[in-house]
Amino acid sequence: MIDKELLLRDLQRRGKAIFGRLQAEYPDTKIALHFSNPHELLVATILSAQCTDKRVNQITPELFRKYPTARAFAEADLEELKNDIRSTGFFNNKAIAIKKAMQAIVEKFGGQVPQTMEELLQLEGVGRKTANVVLGNAFGIPGIVVDTHVKRLVNLLGLTSQQDPEKIEQALMQIFPKEQWIELSNLLIAHGRAVCIARRPNCPKCCIYDLCPSGRQ
């Protein structure tokens, strides 16, 4: 029988080494989306679904000038908003989600993006991933963002075999201390984009190669 406590301690030791290596490799890492306040980050995160952060960053400067407040988005003409975000893909659903989320923020939360997971999950188009992005990067509230990069990397690294994002989040919370959660997400995402690329991982260039049971040369 596997000793669960012993296994967890081993994962925590390896997690500490992984975090340290990634932190040294990406010392200035931060979220790639550009924003200046919480509602802008929320909009940008909704737009980033099935779209690159680079593309989102190309359209948000003008978008945020046109709609400078949550109320402005809430009162936007839906068809016009769809056209404004068309290049990010899935613009029909994204425009509806943004408009409804901002209407709820205005009507229920006094125009301010809420700062709890429970309240954020009440907003249209917001799941745990989006909520954790906003909580961590806009408010400094610890949480672990589980996107496709994080899911892929932690499975390859053998940190968890879970496939459900919420279960992955819970598993990582046991391995890494709370004060690392926000940075951990950004580090894993940065590494997933730069080195551990989905279809062509560059294992020889990987700073955590020897800590990865899936690594290959």
Active site residue 77: no
In this structure, are residues 171 and 10 in contact, taking their beta carbons and an 8 Å threshold? no
Helix axes 4-25, 165-175, angle to 10 degrees: 90
Catalytic, out of 82, 94, 99, 129: 129
Distance (Å, whole) CA 126 – CA 43: 10
Tokens describing residue 211: 């800590």
Distance (Å, whole) CA 217 – CA 209: 9
Active site residue 129: yes
Catalytic, out of 147, 164, 178, 205: 147
Phi-psi region of 2 (alpha: psi -120 to 50; beta: other; left: phi over 0): beta
Distance (Å, whole) CA 21 – CA 84: 41
Which residues are the active-site residues?
A: 129, 147
